[in-house]
Structure 1
Amino acid sequence: MNLALWIAAGLLAAVALAGGITKTFLPKEKLAAHEGGRWTADASVRFVKTLGILELLAAVGLVLPVLLDIAPVMVPVTAGCWVVLMVGAMITHGHYGQFRHVMVNAVYLALAAFIVWGRLGLESFTV
């Protein structure tokens, strides 16, 4: 179970890192040109960059606290925040009729919920 939780956290961290880098460093116009980024055309640059920074922080928060053995409880807390972020992403993509992206976000949400459930109960880092 511990290995499965690590794999899930690593996958989500990679997704968060990729999304965070693109939202933080690519121009909004370039993001809006892609199907999954159409929503950015209607969002402010500040909002898109803020989401990018939050995703970068999530990438760090999903793995670094345990690796450094500093506040490992932050891993499930970060995963819980990711659940909330994915609910917002699913609503946004649904609004734009991007149901394939809604399903991808649902998978990310399920992985994050698995981490929360596993790390707060079954495989706590503090045991």
Structure 2
Amino acid sequence: MELAYRIVAAVLALFYAYAGGKKVAQSREQLQPMMGWVDRVPMPLVRTIGTLELLGALGLILPPLTGIAPWLAVAAATGLALIQVGGIALHLSRGEARLIGLNIALLATAAATVWLGTVWR
């Protein structure tokens, strides 16, 4: 189970490091083609979401790797799942139900990571 956790957590961490890094570093105009929702969300909130995604990515990898506070990995995966719940709610509120496929996949992956994180200990 530990190997399964490491693989799923690594894939999830790579995705969130990329997406979070873009939200933190790029302007609204640069994000707009990939993330249409940034037009109605204040940039400080977009930056906060990006920062939380980056911290979540680190939280998935560092605690199990170092052996320090491994429960933080489960907390990070839970936080990333909650970010996707918010993303689904945002898309639905904008009438973009067709766009929630990625959010659902990321939510399911984060939930699987929570489950694997509780099993491998």
Shared fold, TM over 0.5: yes
Aligned residue pair count: 121
Query: Once the 2 structures are TM-superposed, how far is the Cα of residue 97 of structure 1 from its aligned partner?
Result: 3.9
Structure 2: any 5+ residue segments left out of the alignment? none
Structure 1: any 5+ residue segments left out of the alignment? none
Query: Once the 2 structures are TM-superposed, how far is the Cα of residue 104 of structure 1 from its aligned partner?
Result: 1.0
Query: TM-score by structure 1 length?
Result: 0.87
Query: TM-score by structure 2 length?
Result: 0.91
Cα distance in 2 for partners of 1:95, 1:38 equals 13
Q: 2:65 aligned with 1:67, yes or no?
A: yes
1:43 corresponds to which of 20, 41, 44: 41
Where does structure 1 differ by over 4 angstroms across 4 or more consecutive aligned residues?
A: none
Query: Once the 2 structures are TM-superposed, how far is the Cα of residue 100 of structure 1 from its aligned partner?
Result: 4.7
2:120 alignment counterpart: 123
Cα distance in 2 for partners of 1:18, 1:98 equals 23
Q: 2:21 aligned with 1:24, yes or no?
A: no
Instruction: Give CA-to-partner distance per residue, 1:19-52, whole Å, 9 cap, x none.
Output: 11110000012212x1x41110111111111111
Instruction: Give CA-to-partner distance per residue, 1:50-101, whole Å, 9 cap, x none.
Output: 1111111011001011112211110011101111111001111233344453
1:113 alignment counterpart: 111
> % of aligned pairs identical?
34
Across the aligned residues of Structure 1 and Structure 2, the Cα RMSD in angstroms comes to 1.4
2:92 corresponds to which of 91, 94, 103: 94
Q: Secondary structure at the match of 2:61?
A: helix
